[in-house]
Amino acid sequence: MECNEIREKLADYASDDTSHALRDAIEAHLAHCYVCREELSQHEALLNACRTALRHPLPLDRWDELRAIMDLDVPRQFPGWRKLVRRRAVAAVLATAATLVLVVRTVFAPAPLTQSDEGLGEDALASAPISLAPDGLISVVAASREAAPLQRYKDTVSYYFHSLDLDAPKPSGPDAETTPSPQKAPDVTGPSISLLMTSHIYA
Amino acid sequence: MGNRRQPQHDIPDAALMLRVGRGDGDAFAVLYHRHYRKLLDFFYAMSGSASTAEDLCQECFLRVWRLRERYAPTGSVVGYLFTIGRYVWYEQRPKIYRDQRVKSLSEAQVNGFDATDSRALPDALASRVEIEEAILKAVAGLTEDQRMAFLLRTIQGLPLEEIARVMACPVNTVRSRKLSAMKRLREALRGLLVL
Ligand SMILES: [Zn+2]
């Protein structure tokens, strides 16, 4: 082979991407051609410099950190839930149960609602029919103001949706997926959502 | 978790990954320690930032863990790690580039170093740190596909066929991207390295 032909192959040769036959031919040529040897040494110098320069300067082992995040992956710790019922079924049951609880709470509320509870909130929930679409109910709960005692239901609903990895309102942004909050289900006085939910599932 | 088992350090990647698929965190720890450096270097060369590389590396392994049940043993585990790594790269890329723009703007005010300006660095005076900076900058000047093909082949040493699987393209495309990268790097670094 001529020098021109060989030179075109030297980048592949330097990065070890030539067939055995081609490699033999190149090496036979290099044995007697100083110019092509120089050309090859430039390819090799480039690769060596890159291999040195492109290494992370401080390759710390961050396994413990990763392990801690893995342990916070709540949904994976309860695989039984996933097998128990289909996701959509759980979503519908949860929404129905949440409404039921909220309506019951509102109807038997001992004190009148505060004037500051504008728009959504217990007023809206009290008048919401049980047959309202699940997504609409979730929106009502999620969008309600922090008027007691509604916030506690809101927390409970979002907790259960979160723990079941459903398409419930979740924190947005890139960290939402990586750092699930390991919050506990808040205490709820009156009929509990989990009880209602369980009874629905097994009904 | 692991006290009832044999030590896992001699077990091949594929067998470890199957254990990971069944939720074995100890097997995953062995895989992590065996390969995190590769991913770290890869993301460092892709992004040019040590801290970004650390975050992307963690994100990559977290994805592997979360997707463990879906793992199917085709190709090498290292190839699988880089496949997830490539996915993470493309997913996080807008944020990486946004951060880099902010960073480079503030750095440009501090020093006016430019690797493409050969007058800025007389050959004999170029220190090791300067050479490394210039190489990072030259690599950043490649297209993403060229950069990825070049890094996976020449730095990580993955076979072309494996890279083709990772990058979801024909083997010849990988090879031509690698060659284009080498050509452009030589041009960008001529005069800086003793080429
Ligand atoms: Zn020659």
Higher pLDDT pick, B66 / B120:
B66
Cα separation, A185 vs A168, in Å, equals: 15
Range of the domain at B83: 10-105
Residue A27: count of CB within 10 angstroms of its CB: 11
Q: Is A137 exposed, middle or buried (0-12, 13-18, 19+ CB in 10 A)?
A: buried
Please give, rounded to a whole number of angstroms, the shortest distance from the CA of A167 to a CA of chain B. 17
* For B180, nearest residue in chain A (alpha carbons): A11
Same domain for B83 and B129: no
Residue A98: band (very low, low, confident or very high) from pLDDT cuts 50, 70, 90: confident
| Cα torsion B95, B100, B101, B103: sign | positive
- A15 closest CB neighbour out of B131, B178, B194: B178
User: Which CATH number belongs to the domain containing residue B92 in this structure?
Assistant: 1.10.1740.10
Q: Which residues contact A165 (CB under 8 A, 6 or more apart)?
A: A75, A82
Same domain for B24 and B61: yes
Please give, rounded to a whole number of angstroms, the shortest distance from the CA of B15 to a CA of chain A. 20
Total domains in chain B come to 2
In a domain, B111, yes or no: no
- B154 closest CB neighbour out of A15, A55, A67: A15
Same domain for B146 and B92: no
How many degrees, rounded to 5, is the angle at CA B191 between CA B186 and CA B192? Answer: 85
Domain boundary among B44, B77, B105: B105
Averaged pLDDT score across all residues of chain B:
86
Domain boundary among B42, B74, B105: B105
Among all chains, which residue has been given the structure tokens 């480079």?
B104
In a domain, B112, yes or no: no
In a domain, B5, yes or no: no
User: Which CATH number belongs to the domain containing residue B174 in this structure?
Assistant: 1.10.10.10
In a domain, B177, yes or no: yes
Q: Are A101 and B96 in contact (CB under 8 A)?
A: no
Domain boundary among B70, B105, B140: B105
Same domain for B29 and B92: yes
Higher pLDDT pick, B176 / A184:
B176
In a domain, B110, yes or no: no
Same domain for B148 and B89: no
| Tokens of residue B95, six digits | 């944020």
- A11:B40 CB<8 A: no
Same domain for B83 and B26: yes
Cα separation, A92 vs A108, in Å, equals: 24
| Tokens of residue A21, six digits | 């036959």
Same domain for B144 and B90: no
Please give, rounded to a whole number of angstroms, the shortest distance from the CA of A56 to a CA of chain B. 5
Which range has the worst mean pLDDT, A106-120, B17-31, B177-191?
A106-120
Instruction: Report helix angle B50-66 to B77-110, nearest 10.
Output: 150
HSE value, Cβ hemisphere, 13 Å, CA-based, for A126: 12
HSE value, Cβ hemisphere, 13 Å, CA-based, for A6: 21
Domain definitions of chain A by residue range? 3-53, 63-107, 122-202
Cα separation, A121 vs A102, in Å, equals: 10
Q: What is the pLDDT of residue B24?
A: 92
Select the residue from A19, A50, A60 to test the B interface by mutation, using most B Cβ atoms within 10 A.
Answer: A50
In a domain, B130, yes or no: yes
Give B119-151 as a DSSP string.
GGS-GGG--HHHHHHHHHHHHHTS-HHHHHHHI
Summarised one tens digit per residue, pLDDT across range B157-168 is: 999 999 999 999
Q: What is the pLDDT of residue B140?
A: 94
Q: What is the pLDDT of residue A111?
A: 53
Same domain for B100 and B28: yes
Q: Are B24 and A143 in contact (CB under 8 A)?
A: no
Same domain for B75 and B44: yes
Residue B193 DSSP SS3:
strand
Sort out which chain B residues have CB atoms less than 8 A from A69's CB and list them.
58, 62
Chain A and chain B share a number of CB contacts under 8 A equal to: 101
